[in-house]
Chains A and B, each alone.
Chain A
Amino acid sequence: AQSVAQPEDQVNVAEGNPLTVKCTYSVSGNPYLFWYVQYPNRGLQFLLKYITGDNLVKGSYGFEAEFNKSQTSFHLKKPSALVSDSALYFCAVRVDNYGQNFVFGPGTRLSVLP
């Protein structure tokens, strides 16, 4: 079965430090991977995606993600965390051939401490 795992429910990091939010996936065929962020009482917002090409993908708000095929991972990173980055982060994978069906990970709550 195609799935996404986010092994950490919660990640705490000090402001100014680098952050990593982990994601691993299991899909048949080529993986199409996405990261979204959810702020309180808001819908999910797209951060970045990996389709093909460079393993390091750059996205919104200074975030980037590294695709690692051998480890089936797609970890989200940022060199210097901001308090305003505190939110819920979801990794997602496309699971059909037409881009209409997605499976989301369980989410990781990121807290950036001042």
Chain B
Amino acid sequence: DTAVSQTPKYLVTQMGNDKSIKCEQNLGHDTMYWYKQDSKKFLKIMFSYNNKELIINETVPNRFSPKSPDKAHLNLHINSLELGDSAVYFCASSQVGGLNQPQHFGDGTRLSIL
């Protein structure tokens, strides 16, 4: 059973389009994240949700809008896609609360902007 699953795995689209990436976790975790990994493999946190509440919102263009309908899902919607948005986007989840539990990552969504 896949613990953290993202769809789609690949996303190729034109500049200016709007697209969404979906993420689901079946680990019962209370916190979910979105990360962006650029072409040099540098990984940066974008958003974090705890129990459907936005906790972390790093310096990300407001074209990116996360939505968490429930604890098990965190989707990412991107408006007006730009060339610089090309990257691999990773969803992750963890159980927080002082136990320093590690994050579990999905296998990524490879977004390519033409």
Listed in ascending order, the chain A residues whose CB lies under 8 Å from chain B are: 32, 34, 36, 38, 41-46, 49, 51, 88, 90, 94, 98-104, 106-107
Contacts and interface: CB of A to CB of B under 8 A. Distances in A.
Interface string B93-111: 0101111111111111000
Given A106-B41, A106-B42, A99 B98 contact: yes
A36 B41 CA distance: 13
A100 B106 contact: no
A99 B42 CA distance: 21
Interface residues of B, number: 28
B27 interface: no
Contacts of B114: none
B102 A98 contact: no
B41 A107 contact: yes
Contacts of B96: 98-100
